[in-house]
Amino acid sequence: MANFKKVKKGRNLRRKCELCETNIEYVDYKNVEFITKFISGIGQIKPHASTGTCARHQRKVANAIKRARFMALIPYTKDKIRVLAPAAGVNAAQPAAEKAKKEATPAQ
């Protein structure tokens, strides 16, 4: 699991919640720098397994992110999402430049 850290002797040590260790009770939605640690590159809220937060603080972080999004302090998603594979039904073998060339040449 992602919540466990490997120790030398083969034991697994559970990762502690960063917010519990620093005794943070309130996650401020205006602290954008802190909140962005819990958001993925696409803009999704990271799960507690990858961030290491406990259930209580995960709820508080999620609510703070949602408030910050509503107040337009952070975006809901990235402006442009890069598509790695062509959509189904699209002819990927013919690039856009070739299509434009064919349209520009007059029909004989």
Query: Which helix (H) or strand (E) is 6 found in, with range?
Result: strand 4-6
Residues 6+ apart with CB under 8 A from 37: 51
Mean pLDDT of the chain: 80
Averaged pLDDT for residues 7-20: 73
pLDDT tens per residue across span 31-79: 999 999 999 988 899 998 889 999 999 999 999 999 999 999 999 887 7
Residues 6+ apart with CB under 8 A from 14: 3, 4, 5
Q: Which domains does the chain have, with CATH numbers?
A: 11-79 (4.10.640.10)
Distance of CA 88 to the CA centre of its chain: 25
